[in-house]
Amino acid sequence: MSAIWEEVPRDENLIKHLQEIAKDTALLHGVLMRTKESPNSPEVVSYAPFTLFPTRVPRTVFNQALAVQTHFNRLVDQVSQDPAFLEETLASTIKVDDFTARLFSIYREVRRESQLQKVVLGLNRSDYMLDQSPDGRTSLKQIEINTIAASFGGLASRTPDVHRHILKVANQLEERNQILDNNPAEGLVRGLAKAWELYGSERAVVMFLVEEVQRNIYDHRYVENELWKKNIPVIRRQFEDVCRTGSLDQSRKLFVDGREIAVVYFRNGYMPQNYTSEQSWDARLMMERSLAVKCPDISTHLAGTKKVQQELARPGVLERFFPDEPETVAQIRATFAGLYTLDMGEEGDKTVAMALANPDRYVLKPQREGGGNNIYGQEICEVLEKLKDSRERSAYILMDKIQPIPVQNYLLRPGDPIRLKSCLSELGVFGAYVRKGKDMLFNECVGHLLRTKSSEYADGGVAAGVAVLDNPLLF
């Protein structure tokens, strides 16, 4: 049996002492967010929320998540290159989900034109929870894969040293030595830098397309600063800036504020409210039509939808993308939870009946990113009772609800008193790849992210104010 702790320390005096040190240490190491009250001001910052102690994670499932990531990178890329699959898979969804339909109309318009940009950059994050079966076995189950604006690669690069210092002060030296090195920001930058290099113009810039509210700016800044160290210039712009000053020249090079854009890195554009006007949609189309490398391009954005995730879990579908790789298929499929269609027809009707009979066993998911969108418990019944005879139900998929084992930890969040809570954790694994034409030039797992939240919350991430940053303590 490992000597790594079975439960976190509980001595009240120690906890009171450690929390002050922990908050200062987070600030010293740059684990920062802007405040809700002044989200766009660099004058007022606080620590990003995090756990006082790292959380125990089984080594076998952690290594499994890392090992499968390069396969998921390839899968996303293969899906993005299969127009027949995307058309067929999303046909029902785009009839009832306006947001996905708008994205798909851009995809179709771009496909009608000649494919000018042969460089594809993917920076994604595959998220998992640990499922506890009735017989006591723990297994890794994928929640989703984020193909656009996968966040916290920057801050996750800074949290290991915070927990190392806390554990040293707490005299938990064995646990301190178990904290893993982790630098996803550096890996994400390698992907961005390779795409910039392949674009082939030293004067062209990487443009971060960002939201108006900038609370999580320091997560971006770590990536930006690493690019600047490589002498790769970076600008930050919003949709409105691209609308106002963006243009394509005759060869379809993209210019914004007079700067040639080599790479558009979307840290915005994944939710309907990100598009505040028709001009926002026009700007997205212009960027997609341009020679700039898009991260993600529109087809890769669509490859990350929940409906695609559900379709990939069908028997025989993975083999379409990996026809001669049964071991790859087995590795990917082992991470799938049960996923069910709600399309009109007999199969969808069975899914509705199944959900209504046992709503607590499932999660109802719309085609949305950003956290806080999923539907649980009795609310599933309320939604499906309204939609069960309507094709509007096709805007959702149903997924088995993961049954993780709660752990005990202290969550440090500005303004909240610290107390021991029952918590649930979610493991994210970052992937980066670059393809030019048919050649995959770069395909790596570049790091991990552990987020933990109080088990009283069903849904929501760090940016949504529910989960906090964490580190895995392997056993």
Residues annotated as catalytic (active site), given as ranges: 125, 144, 146, 151, 306, 365, 369-370, 451
Instruction: Please say if the pLDDT value at position 96 is more than 70.
Output: yes
290-302 confidence digits (pLDDT tens): 999 999 999 999 9
Measured CA to CA in angstroms, residue 89 lies from 82, 318, 341, 473 at distances of: 11, 14, 11, 39
H/E segment holding residue 206: strand 205-209
Instruction: Please say if the pLDDT value at position 465 is more than 80.
Output: no
pLDDT interval class at 368 (50, 70, 90): confident
Prediction pTM value: 0.95
Instruction: Please say if the pLDDT value at position 457 is more than 80.
Output: no
Strands (E), 290-412: 293-295, 339-341, 362-366, 375-376, 396-400, 407-412
**Rounded Cα–Cα distance for residues 268 and 277 (Å):** 14
Share of the chain above pLDDT 70, in %: 97
CA of residue 365 relative to chain centroid, distance: 15
Q: Between 1 and 411, whose confidence is greater? A: 411
Span 82-100, mean pLDDT?
A: 97
What is the CA angle 299-281-193, rounded to 5? 50
Looking at residue 373, its pLDDT comes to 86
Looking at residue 369, its pLDDT comes to 80
Looking at residue 116, its pLDDT comes to 64
Instruction: Please say if the pLDDT value at position 172 is more than 90.
Output: yes
Looking at residue 202, its pLDDT comes to 95
Instruction: Please say if the pLDDT value at position 1 is more than 50.
Output: no
Looking at residue 134, its pLDDT comes to 84
Looking at residue 15, its pLDDT comes to 97
28-79 confidence digits (pLDDT tens): 999 999 999 999 999 999 999 999 999 999 999 999 999 999 999 999 999 9
Instruction: Please say if the pLDDT value at position 7 is more than 90.
Output: no
Instruction: Please say if the pLDDT value at position 5 is more than 80.
Output: no
pLDDT interval class at 323 (50, 70, 90): very high
Residue among 218, 236, 207 at smallest CA distance from 295:
207
Looking at residue 237, its pLDDT comes to 98
Q: Between 463 and 345, whose confidence is greater? A: 345
**Backbone conformation region of residue 279, classed left if phi is above 0, alpha if psi is from -120 to 50, else beta:** alpha
Strands (E), 14-173: 32-34, 45-47, 50-51, 55-57, 119-132, 138-146
Ranking 20-29, 128-137, 317-326, 345-354 by mean pLDDT, the lowest is 128-137
Looking at residue 133, its pLDDT comes to 86
Span 146-161, mean pLDDT?
A: 98
Looking at residue 128, its pLDDT comes to 98
Looking at residue 2, its pLDDT comes to 42
- Using DSSP's 3-state secondary structure scheme, residue 427 falls into strand
- Using DSSP's 3-state secondary structure scheme, residue 339 falls into strand
> Please, how many CA atoms are within 13 Å of residue 379, restricted to the half-sphere of its CB?
8
Beta bridge partners of 140: 130
Q: Sign of torsion, CA 246 247 253 257?
A: negative
Contact 355, 398 (CB under 8 A): yes
Instruction: Please say if the pLDDT value at position 186 is more than 90.
Output: yes
Mean pLDDT of the chain: 95
Task: Enumerate domains of the chain plus CATH numbers.
Answer: 12-337+402-474 (no CATH), 339-401 (3.30.1490.50)
pLDDT interval class at 464 (50, 70, 90): low
**Rounded Cα–Cα distance for residues 338 and 401 (Å):** 9
117-152 confidence digits (pLDDT tens): 799 999 999 999 999 988 888 999 999 999 999 999
pLDDT interval class at 466 (50, 70, 90): confident
221-244 confidence digits (pLDDT tens): 999 999 999 999 999 999 999 999
Instruction: Please say if the pLDDT value at position 391 is more than 80.
Output: yes
- Contacts made by residues 17-20, CB under 8 angstroms, sequence distance 24+: 17/169, 18/52, 18/166, 18/169, 18/170, 19/52, 19/410, 19/412, 19/418
- Using DSSP's 3-state secondary structure scheme, residue 338 falls into coil
- Contacts made by residues 109-118, CB under 8 angstroms, sequence distance 24+: 109/285, 109/289, 110/285, 110/288, 110/289, 110/298, 111/83, 113/289, 116/252, 116/291, 117/290, 117/291, 117/292, 117/293, 117/294, 117/297, 118/436, 118/437
